[in-house]
């Protein structure tokens, strides 16, 4: 009888998860460690996920957020620092459109976004994920992703 779980990890999938984790954690070595943990958890699952990419990214996101929380214990109500590692990794159309002369404005605008808006913006433009994939990763409705994305795009110069 064959194993119902998909073979993990393929090289492209592993590279994508490492890049995804690096976006949250900011360091390649930490991302490699996180990806190892992600695949370990995925292999321990009893059944195969319906959408392996979204499933792995959801595990990766949760793990990376736990790592970040353990790094920066904060008092209640205090926001995590706005210089999020994934904000610097935006290398898609948003960054190209903004250009070097607008970088400071973009950083300022990203800092003004809520954590949720910044994360959705990064997942869409930094990771090139669809709204449905983002919704599956974040565990929210696709309409929530759409509204967060629209609000974020309005606040960041050069995105409309």
Using one digit for the tens of pLDDT, what is the confidence trace for 8-43? 567 888 899 999 999 899 889 999 999 999 999 988
Instruction: Report the half-sphere exposure of 7 (CA within 13 A, side-chain side).
Output: 4
Let me know: does 86 contact 122? Beta carbons within 8 Å.
yes
Sign, CA torsion 53/34/116/84:
negative
The three-class DSSP label of residue 99 is coil
| Helix 131-138 / helix 52-71 crossing angle, nearest 10 deg | 50
Residue 67 near residue 30 (C-beta atoms within 8 A): yes
> What is the reported pLDDT for 82?
43
Residue 7 · residue 14 · CB < 8 Å: no
Domain locations in the chain as residue ranges: 1-74, 88-160
146 touches 131 (CB < 8 A): yes
Least confident of 20-24, 34-38, 84-88, 117-121: 84-88
| 119 contact partners, CB below 8 Å, separation of at least 6 | 86, 138
Higher pLDDT, 45 or 8: 45
C-alpha 17: how far from chain center: 10
**91-100 confidence digits (pLDDT tens):** 555 555 555 5
Correct CATH for 88-160 of 3.30.70.100, 3.30.70.360, 1.10.10.10, 3.30.450.80: 1.10.10.10
């Amino acid at each position: 009888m064959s194993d119902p779980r998909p073979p993990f990890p393929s090289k492209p999938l592993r590279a994508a998860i490492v890049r995804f984790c690096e976006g949250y954690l900011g360091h390649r070595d930490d991302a490699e460690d996180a990806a190892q943990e992600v695949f370990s958890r995925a292999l321990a699952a009893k059944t195969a996920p319906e959408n392996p990419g979204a499933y792995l990214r959801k595990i990766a996101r949760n793990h990376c957020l736990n790592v970040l929380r353990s790094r920066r214990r904060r008092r209640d109500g205090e926001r995590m620092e706005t210089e999020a590692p994934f904000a610097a990794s935006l290398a898609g159309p948003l960054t190209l459109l903004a250009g070097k002369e607008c970088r400071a404005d973009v950083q300022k605008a990203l800092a003004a976004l809520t954590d949720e808006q910044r994360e959705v913006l990064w997942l869409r433009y930094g990771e090139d994920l669809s709204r449905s994939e983002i919704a599956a990763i974040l565990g929210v409705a696709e309409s929530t992703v759409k509204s967060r994305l629209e609000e974020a795009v309005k606040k960041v110069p050069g995105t409309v």
